[in-house]
Amino acid sequence: MLQTKGYAVEAANAKFKNFDFERRDVGANDILIEIEFCGVCHSDIHQARNEWGNSIFPMVPGHEIVGRVKQIGEAVSKFKEGDYAGVGCFVDSCGTCETCQADVEQFCQVHCAQTYNSTEMDEKTPTYGGYSTQIVVKEDYALKITDTENLAAIAPLLCAGITTYSPLRKFKVGEGSKVGIVGLGGLGHMGVKFAVSMGADVTVFSTSPSKEADAKKLGAHHFVVSKNEEEMKALGGQFDFILDCVSAEHDLNAYLNLLRLDGTMCLVGVPEKPAPVHAFSLIQNNRSLAGSGIGGIKDTQEMLDYCAEKGITSDIEMINIQDIENAYERTIKGDVRYRFVIDIASLKNA
């Protein structure tokens, strides 16, 4: 077993502290990644605080993992020692069910072993995430990272990147699409970058007027303060596609009303409480309300390769792991430009 340093919470209302644990030895199909950076996703906060009611403690969060391959198993072919690799939101699945075969392993019908707050395929051994010094993962569930220039800014692509890239592709956003991105946080700012890169006309809907200049710098064409009811009304029936990246309670109907004929609004944000939807918000203009969950390994690799080609990374603020509580508080307040990334050296040296 491999002795590993981590940072964990022991209960929903507990503070983070050092947590030593063991990773499995490197098996034939495994790689060992020495973690260099890990992004801080709002899902880490929801789960560390048990806001979704499914938390397993002690919890070592983190599913935006990048680092270097330190050791490979004898059957590994995709990686060699010294390569850069990433791990996203899950580390294993059955590989043979209908959804795994359709390359959406995140919905595995047997069991999707999520990177943390979950169990391995035995449904007993807890999984621990990227707020740690190293991880052992099957090579098929690790991603190849070729653009290594700014590794820390690539980490958030493993969740925030794929979660926004995947629905934009699925709903065929492209040249001429009129797209709205709701909530300019970690997911939202990646959504803006991708939608702009795909040729869409992009409007950011935000509760934070102070983010207007940033939105424009990210490439957005328009910026709307969502609290401004008149401005919202004036935009009724205009959008082809809206991606809702909001982490807290808000009115979905106000955004559904902005969709034109056959338009779709896709939820990726997961607020703690369910939101009411009025049937008329959907009936008018034959609208659709959809959802999208991260993305499979194939799509995640496609997204990373697309980012490498287009020079797309995340806008980040680097922190030491000891600053994690403060980073959570600032994320909840919407005060992050636009993703915190943990420098794992701060944990190694702790």
Q: CA angle 167-171-176, nearest 5°?
A: 115
Tokens 């690539």 map to which residue?
154
Positions in 32-61 near Zn ion (CB under 5 A): 41, 43
CB 54 within 8 A of CB 117: yes
Q: Which of 9, 37, 43, 113 binds ligand NAP (CB under 6 A)?
A: 43
> How many whole angstroms separate alpha carbon 215 and alpha carbon 227?
17
Task: Locate 17 and state its tokens.
Answer: 């502290």
Smaller CB separation from ligand NAP, 133 or 281: 281
If one asks whether residue 222 binds ligand NAP (CB under 6 A), the answer comes out as no
User: Which residue is closest to Zn ion by CB?
Assistant: 41
For residue 73, the partner it binds in Zn ion, ligand NAP, none, with Cβ less than 5 to 8 A by kind, is none
In the complex, minimum distance from the CB of residue 258 to ligand NAP, in angstroms, rounded to a whole number: 15
For residue 118, the partner it binds in Zn ion, ligand NAP, none, with Cβ less than 5 to 8 A by kind, is none
> How many whole angstroms separate alpha carbon 30 and alpha carbon 91?
11
Task: Locate 217 and state its tokens.
Answer: 């710098």
In the complex, minimum distance from the CB of residue 269 to ligand NAP, in angstroms, rounded to a whole number: 4
Stretch that binds ligand NAP, among 2-10, 77-85, 180-188, 273-281 (CB under 6 A): 180-188
First vs last C-alpha separation in the chain: 21
Task: Locate 107 and state its tokens.
Answer: 């919905």
User: Which residue is closest to ligand NAP by CB?
Assistant: 185
CB 292 within 8 A of CB 163: yes
Smaller CB separation from Zn ion, 159 or 192: 159
Q: Which of 29, 207, 284, 322 binds ligand NAP (CB under 6 A)?
A: 207
Binding mask 284-323 for Zn ion (x = CB under 5 A): ----------------------------------------
User: Which of 273, 275, 274, 271 is CA-nearest to residue 255?
Assistant: 275
If one asks whether residue 159 binds Zn ion (CB under 5 A), the answer comes out as yes
If one asks whether residue 183 binds ligand NAP (CB under 6 A), the answer comes out as yes
User: Which of 299, 313, 164 is CA-nearest to residue 244?
Assistant: 164
Whether cis (ω within 30° of 0) applies to the bond prior to 141 is no
Smaller CB separation from Zn ion, 43 or 206: 43
> How many whole angstroms separate alpha carbon 2 and alpha carbon 26?
9
CB 12 within 8 A of CB 55: yes
> How many whole angstroms separate alpha carbon 296 and alpha carbon 279?
32
In the complex, minimum distance from the CB of residue 284 to Zn ion, in angstroms, rounded to a whole number: 33
For residue 134, the partner it binds in ligand NAP, Zn ion, none, with Cβ less than 5 to 8 A by kind, is none
- Give me the residues that bind ligand NAP (CB under 6 A), please: 41-43, 46, 159-160, 163, 183-188, 206-208, 211, 245-248, 250, 268-270, 292-294, 331, 334, 336
- Give me the residues that bind Zn ion (CB under 5 A), please: 41, 43, 159
